[in-house]
Structure 1
Amino acid sequence: MDPFSFDPARLEALTFDVFGTVVDWHGGVVREGRRLARGRGLKVDWSAFANAWRAKYAPSMDRVRRGELAWTRIDDLHRMSLEETLQEFGIGSFTEEEKARLNLAWHRLDPWPDAVKGLRRLKKRYIVATLSNGNVRLLVDMAKRAGLPWDCIFSAEIFRRYKRDPEVYLGAIDMLGLKPHQVMMVAAHQDDLRAAHAVGMPTAFVRRPLEYGDPKKKDLTPEPVFDLVVDSLEELAGRLGA
């Protein structure tokens, strides 16, 4: 059988992108920024702030890939990007403790309303695991707070490579003792899914129109190569018979 042909009966595990796919990073950063700014008279568009901070995410990982930075976990890349974003928005009044708290907002993100129920359904039939660029402690803290029922946590930190490097996908598959066609990648980001497809994984695109706070900022048109396209993790569970 063609290993690239999708057969749900062969699936044994699902790996999930986390930021934007399972949890609402935008809403979490906006909430934390507003809390810290309360009573200070700051006039900040926290939605724009969150998106500007997030926009530095991929370029910061590219600096590691190019060798400009040694291996650096996401918490530390986030902190470097936070300093730049605070400067861009003219915010100079936060203490070091407050900046550290804002940086750890990524550990305290809320799940999308469908996420926990969908994961619980999928977990009854499949191994469910993160496959995220977030570092291990970040993903553990997030899961404990949000009640995300992962069977295991795969982080780029384990492989010291970032998605969309193939070593991350293949490393997780190997640690599960499975073959690429047995592990589905689930993500709200099309470049993530393209990279997973390239190593032989089936793919599920989850539409998250509010990832950036405004549906106009999100491309929801899926590429034909994706095996499933859904609007929630509960829908995904239903499509897979879980």
Structure 2
Amino acid sequence: MALNPLPKALFFDVFGTCVDWRKTVTETLIDAASAVGDNTMTPTDWASFAQAWRTSYLTFTRALAADPSIPYRTVDEHHLASLQTLLDQHNLSTLWPQHIVHDLSLIWHRLAPWPDAASGLDQLNSLGIQTATLTNGNLALINDLAAFGKLPFTHVLSAEMFSSYKPNPAVYLGAAEKLGLKPEECGMVAAHLGDLEAAQKCGFRTVYVERKDEERDEGLRGKEGLVDVWVREGEEGFVEVARRLGA
């Protein structure tokens, strides 16, 4: 399948799709522990810690997306509280002073992009397609992340703008409205089929960019008609998306 006619805007999931959160978070935690001479956790332990931190974020955002009565908190607020909880659970609550823990909670502002992300976005922009983030990360976080990774999005949008989180339809529909577009004029780009499924239900077209270890809903791989453009792992990610759309 293909995107024909071309969408007027492509909205991008960020964590895992645009940036390699796993590598950056794990390496930063390892370095921070080494800096204070702690070797109680192995690199594998810290990788598991990073995954638990990420999983807590997914649980948090999905719960709020499903239940609007839950008080809204930003992802930055969640990341700090979750990090403190995980440190307690691993008997590491005294490993770093509080100001270091706070700085570590902001790792997510400094994630390394996938190698194809910046150049692929630049090529998509050259086609006249608007490129916008559509992420659960709060605006301050995503603006920092885009600047850090030199990611040339034409717009930075966040679920924070709609006081909810993906996969709430209000996020996808609100994003299209922000750009003055109909849902069918928009495409969603993600490394997670669940995100694409929710966007498609709102009328978006879908672009699946596989990233290493990112898929959480393996059962959706065989769902017919879910993916309009499918870029396999190793096919240059966003560069390949631009190529298929005519760059």
| Fold in common (TM above 0.5) | yes
CA distance in 2 between partners of 1:11 and 1:68 (Å): 34
For 1:123, the equivalent position in structure 2 comes to 125
CA distance in 2 between partners of 1:210 and 1:63 (Å): 23
Q: Does the CA-based 8 Å contact 1:187-1:205 persist in structure 2?
A: yes
1:201 aligns with 2:204: yes
Pick one of 13, 20, 23 that aligns with 2:16.
20
* Aligned-residue offset at 1:58: 2.1
- What one-letter code is carried by the residue in structure 2 that aligns with 1:57? Y
Q: 1:7 to 1:206 in 2, by over 3 A?
A: closer
- What one-letter code is carried by the residue in structure 1 that aligns with 2:242? A
- What one-letter code is carried by the residue in structure 2 that aligns with 1:97? H
1:234 aligns with 2:234: no
CA distance in 1 between partners of 2:217 and 2:231 (Å): 15
Pick one of 7, 11, 25 that aligns with 1:11.
7
1:74 aligns with 2:75: yes
Output the aligned Cα RMSD.
Answer: 2.0
**Structure 2 unaligned blocks of 5 or more:** none
Q: 1:69 to 1:237 in 2, by over 3 A?
A: same
The TM-score with structure 1 as length reference comes to 0.90
For 1:99, the equivalent position in structure 2 comes to 101
Structure 1 residue runs of 4 or more that deviate by more than 6 Å after TM superposition: none
- What one-letter code is carried by the residue in structure 2 that aligns with 1:123? N
User: For structure 1, which segment, 218-227 or 57-66, has the greater mean C-alpha deviation from structure 2 after superposition?
Assistant: 218-227
* Matches for 1:33-48 after TM superposition, within 5 Å: 33-38=29-34, 39-44=37-42, 45-48=45-48
SS of the residue corresponding to residue 41 of structure 2 reads: coil
Q: 1:222 to 1:76 in 2, by over 3 A?
A: farther
* Aligned-residue offset at 1:90: 2.3
SS of the residue corresponding to residue 106 of structure 2 reads: helix
**Structure 1 unaligned blocks of 5 or more:** none
- What one-letter code is carried by the residue in structure 2 that aligns with 1:227? D
* Aligned-residue offset at 1:67: 5.4
- Give the paired residue count: 234
User: For structure 1, which segment, 198-207 or 39-48, has the greater mean C-alpha deviation from structure 2 after superposition?
Assistant: 39-48
The TM-score with structure 2 as length reference comes to 0.88
CA distance in 2 between partners of 1:94 and 1:107 (Å): 20
1:150 aligns with 2:126: no
- What one-letter code is carried by the residue in structure 1 that aligns with 2:56? K
For 1:84, the equivalent position in structure 2 comes to 85
Q: Does the CA-based 8 Å contact 1:205-1:222 persist in structure 2?
A: no
